Amino acid sequence: MTAQPKGPASYFPSIEKTYGRPIAEWLEALSASGLSGHKAHVDWLKAEHGLGHGHANALVQYHLNPGKWPEYVSGQ
- Three-class secondary structure of residue 20 per DSSP: coil
Taking the model in full, what pTM does it have?
Answer: 0.87
25 inside domain: yes
Annotate 6-44 with b (16+ C-beta within 10 A) or e (fewer).
Answer: eebbebbbebbeebeeebeebbebbeeeebeeeeebbeb
* pLDDT tens-place values along the chain, 76 residues long: 466 777 898 999 999 999 999 999 999 999 999 999 999 999 999 999 999 999 999 999 999 997 887 777 665 4
75 inside domain: no
Residue 46 pLDDT: 98
Residues spanned by the domain of 53: 7-64
Number of domains in the chain: 1
1 inside domain: no
Residue 1 pLDDT: 46
2 inside domain: no
Instruction: State which amino acid sits at residue 37.
Output: G
